Amino acid sequence: MRGYVMEFQLKQRGRASIDFAADLAAIAGKLGMAVNAELDGLELDEDLKIRGQQIAEATSDSDAHWFAQRIGEWSGTTHGIVTGDAFEEIKEDLLPSFDALSKGPTQIEANPGIRYPDYWEGVDFHRTTGGWVREHQGFIHGELIHPLYVGKNFPGGIFKQRYDVLAELGDHDFERILEMGTSSGHFTLQLAKRYPGAEITGVELGLPMLEQAQRFANERNLHWRLIQAPAEQTGLPDASFDLVASYILLHELPESVTHKVFAEAFRVLEPGGMMFMSDIRPFRDLSRLQEWRAIDNASRGGEPYWCEAASLDLAEVAAQAGFADAKSYGLGQFNYPWVTIARKPEA
């Protein structure tokens, strides 16, 4: 099969296991929608604790709720295991390609002595086994989990979404772009497509994720600067970029770190430069049932900072960091992604 970056061939066991997990996750999702339909019309209290009790009572007799919770639990804990096992079955076949794609115009500035932030180290985000530091997690997440598991249940095109969102920046061209939270390079690639003349720098804590981003770039002969560093402390010079961007990074950060990330973006932007962050919908944009659903999903889905992130007014956080013209709004039919655009004032 053709992955996002390279050709590879899963073995029978790995392929069948991933297909099964993806279909079962789809069923859990549909059962969740059935539960939503059952709860439709329920007058929910503003207080979250009371609301939780109301929903617990209303779903106590719901078979759809009972099965959705347990099937979702199985999918959540299993997807990282079956994709890791599928990778191990083909690992030896892939290593020569990994070696070849580590050579090229894009090189990684690894930081072997890096001290991971407390909020990040040891966290299995999305309940994916091993978090972002498991060896070869960039390939496992980027080439197996995303297209074969997530992509099957959240259609819409992960690349299309990431490219389309850049239309919010208008016709403005950018020359020096910093991406915060590069992960395996999905958004980086869209930045490179939209702004082909720009110098692109990406910072990311997980070295295995940067290795996959590097494969993306070298496979297309693109020159990116990839640095292993936290978004809140990039180590990059003051006023050295005209755009700082991220895509679904902020909800993986505690509130206090988001403030630091915006301050760091402000520091590295030149006067007049733009900050452009795309992320989850804030609670204030959700109905009481949607808010409860988001909190419930986050608590069971490896999203330890979702509630903090969804409670923030990012335009206000940007203004506090010194930005001007900060605005924050949702895109498309589902108000997703939620974008925050702000400008560093001229000196």
Residues that bind another protein (CB under 8 A): 1, 9, 11-13, 15-16, 19-20, 23-24, 27, 30-31, 34, 61-64, 66-67
CB nearer another protein, residue 41 or residue 170: 41
Smallest separation, CB 3 to another protein (Å)? 13
Smallest separation, CB 73 to another protein (Å)? 13
Smallest separation, CB 78 to another protein (Å)? 14
DSSP, collapsed to helix, strand or coil, labels residue 37 as helix
CB nearer another protein, residue 76 or residue 206: 76
Smallest separation, CB 343 to another protein (Å)? 46
Contacts of 106 (CB under 8 A, 6+ apart): 213, 214, 217, 218, 222, 223, 224, 225, 226
Phi-psi region of 162 (alpha: psi -120 to 50; beta: other; left: phi over 0): alpha
CB nearer another protein, residue 81 or residue 90: 90
CB nearer another protein, residue 19 or residue 199: 19
Smallest separation, CB 12 to another protein (Å)? 5
Phi-psi region of 136 (alpha: psi -120 to 50; beta: other; left: phi over 0): left
DSSP, collapsed to helix, strand or coil, labels residue 287 as coil
Contact 342, 274 (CB under 8 A): yes
CB nearer another protein, residue 12 or residue 287: 12
**Quick one: the chain helix, strand, coil %, rounded to 5?**
50, 15, 35
**What are 185's two structure tokens?**
């390079």
C-alpha–C-alpha distance, residues 207 and 187, integer Å: 17
